[in-house]
Amino acid sequence: MASSDELARLLRDALTNYYDPVRLQSHPLAEMLDLQQGLGETVAEALRRCLRDGIDRLRPPNTTPQDGPEWLGHHVLLLHYVRSLSPAEVCRELNMSEATFYRRQREALQALTSVMWNAHRAPSSTEAEPTLPSTDQSPNGVRERAIALASRLPSQVVQFADLLEGVRQTIAPLAEQQHITLQVTAPRGLPPTYGDPAVLRHAILALLTECVCAARNGTVELRIWLEAGRIIGRIGVLGSDASGASTGCFEEGQGFRLGLELLQVYGGEAWSEPDAPGCGVAFSVATLQPIAILIVDDDHTTADLYRRYLEGPQYAVIHAQTAEEVEAELERSLPDLILLDVLLPRRDGWLILEKLKSEPSTARIPVIVCSVIEQPELALALGAAQVLTKPITSEQLLRAVQEQTLPANSRASARPARPARA
């Protein structure tokens, strides 16, 4: 029998190669754990499933506050290995220092090793508890692949009203086949959200399909409203009798779990409402909050050029020409990102960057240095997140801005407390 130290070493290596099917297919960890493959699964898929299950076992109880320290170990492993975020991106996502990241990573890996070690030494004690629900053992790991793909797809502005209409048209034939009356109500002028449209569409379809299949000759009502910067949807499974009692029984099955996990990729949530009139399921996604970008450049032409590059509802652009104007803007509100030129009158960009990174209130704001002066080593040493050399193309600027602000979007859409039933 292998030692726990050997298990820890193999476990870390397998997590590091989580999306390398060639490496996982012949990984010694699979043999050590004596993996049981599901129908149509490869060894690599079974090992990924096992690893994800281990990480899921580190989840605190649902009653534990989502922003509590108990969740940090689970979040670090999920974001770093499953969602493939770099340590720096995880630090920004979880608002922690690099030192804290590595400490939490070490502690979480130790806890995960303990979980795997106990299962390895006493398989009989875990036989009654499958590694994942049976729906997760679908052929070819479809569910896992969908979630992994969603985590890697680039996000964009999504017009939720158009998305909703597409969902209604897609689900209509199934509702007709199930003899279900489908009702969709939503207010006019729904704001956009942020994510991949195909992923969000699939998430809502998964929830809606499960409710349609549970209704049995009744009515399924999808009602949308806005609350506290979120788009809230409630899918009610209603009966056809006079009292409106449900003729079906909704349970949290495959569709619910898939919809929940896909929504969570973009900071959304889903939950069942078994005790509500017309039992069903609800979900929420964040409305798009424009990313505030402060351009610090004494050249109006350059600032106007950047503004044109950043046109659209996704960005709100502010312009400052001097250090004094920067300070005034920061007193009014903190931006999500700063584009900083070095050659400025009176106080240059280096001094501004030093001050930004020395102040606790502004230290975490990513700064992209945009200058004709090619001193990337100095810029990065002073705390810049990235360096672009003028002249800067629209593709270069947009790529850099997206790299620095996507984590901020995730944080802005962090899961809120569930809204009150409307």
Domain that holds residue 199: 156-288
205 and 312 belong to one structural domain? no
171 and 129 belong to one structural domain? no
168 and 215 belong to one structural domain? yes
- The set of residues, in sequence order, having a beta carbon less than 8 Å from that of 332 and lying 6+ positions away, is none
**Inside any domain, residue 419:** no
**Inside any domain, residue 20:** yes
- Predicted TM-score (pTM) of the model is 0.45
What's the total number of domains in the chain? Answer: 3
- Long-range CB contacts for residues 267-270, cutoff 8 Å, separation at least 24: 267/409, 267/410, 267/411, 267/412, 267/413, 267/414, 267/415, 268/203, 268/413, 268/415, 269/415, 269/416, 269/418, 270/203, 270/207
Other C-beta atoms lying within 10 Å of the C-beta of residue 287: 17
283, β-bridge pairs: 233, 270
pLDDT 10s digits, 122-175: 443 333 333 333 334 443 455 566 666 666 666 677 889 999 999 999 999 999
18 and 145 belong to one structural domain? yes
Q: What is the pLDDT of residue 295?
A: 97
Label residues 164-196 b or e (16+ Cβ within 10 Å = b): beebbeebeeebeebebebebebeeebebbbbb
273 is written with which tokens?
A: 């409402």
207 and 337 belong to one structural domain? no
Place of tokens 């209603």: 238
**Inside any domain, residue 202:** yes
Mean pLDDT, 10 residues at a time, the chain of 422 residues:
74 87 86 71 83 83 69 87 86 85 86 77 38 37 62 73 92 90 90 85 90 82 89 82 47 78 83 71 84 93 91 83 94 94 91 94 94 90 93 89 64 42 46
Q: What is the pLDDT of residue 135?
A: 38
- Identify the domain boundary among 152, 176, 197: 152
Q: What is the pLDDT of residue 306?
A: 94
- DSSP tag of 26: T
Q: How far apart are CA 282 and CA 5, in angstroms?
A: 44
Q: By the 8 A CB rule, do 17 and 23 touch? A: yes
Q: By the 8 A CB rule, do 289 and 302 touch? A: no
8 and 102 belong to one structural domain? yes
CA-nearest of 132, 143, 133 to 51 is 132
Report whether the peptide linkage leading into residue 21 is cis, meaning its omega lies within 30 degrees of zero.
no
- The set of residues, in sequence order, having a beta carbon less than 8 Å from that of 170 and lying 6+ positions away, is 201, 205
**Inside any domain, residue 53:** yes
**Inside any domain, residue 418:** no
**Inside any domain, residue 421:** no
What SS3 class is residue 402?
helix
Place of tokens 């290995």: 81
CA separation (Å) from 136 to 33, 57, 151?
19, 15, 17
- Identify the domain boundary among 243, 272, 288: 288
- Identify the domain boundary among 90, 118, 152: 152
**Inside any domain, residue 113:** yes
- The CATH number of residue 397's host domain is 3.40.50.2300
